[in-house]
Amino acid sequence: MWVHVPSSKWSGPTIQHKPFEGDFAFGPESTSKEVYERLVVRPGVLDTVLGGGVGCVLAYGQTGSGKTYTISSLEEIISRDIFSAAESYASAHFPGSPTLPKDVFTIGISMYELLGNKATDLLDQESKGVDIAEDKVGHTVERQEPYSIGQFGGIQVSAKVVSVTNASELANMVATAASHRRTSATLKNETSSRSHVLSYLSCSSII
């Protein structure tokens, strides 16, 4: 694929043409369900997470390219599917357990917004969070007040993890977090996201 990047030189504006290799591409006619099937279902992301691994879905691109729309749609589908996937996984991997398959996994969610050098917990608006920095050897350390926000970045990392017991509760948490995001109008979108959001689903097994 080719990416056309506006640039400038001493002689004036120009466009750089940069080639990139990709596994596949989705066209404008592709649906969110198709994206979900290709990026989440086929690679077995949910089974990987339920098995103790880590899965990540990341959207990166310019303003107005559809990142928030795509990720929000995937969040809705994952919210709907994660509990049935957890029950199916438990039935397949713990067939002799006295615990019912639907009760094997505990699901939790945290969501926080990154804007500039600040992070805000979208599920706990009253949280003050924790500011962190790195010491000289790269170890993460917690900074106690007083300190300079500018010096240490003011990054809040103590996002609240909310336990959810069904798909409806999870969908409500996602919707609540989305309502707390900061948006503003652009030429392409009246409610364009002005920040980045990290959504974290935790799946823990009692077996």
**Which residue numbers belong to the known binding site?**
61-68
Annotated binding-site positions for ATP: 61-68
- DSSP 3-state helix, strand, coil percentages of the chain (rounded to 5)? 30, 25, 45
Query: Is the sign of the CA dihedral 48, 42, 73, 93 positive or negative?
Result: negative
CB 15: neighbour CB atoms within 10 A? Answer: 8
Radius of gyration of the chain (CA): 21
Using DSSP bridges, classify how beta strands 105-115 and 132-134 pair: parallel, antiparallel or unpaired: unpaired
Classified as helix, coil or strand, 170 is helix
Classified as helix, coil or strand, 132 is strand
DSSP assigned state of 103: G
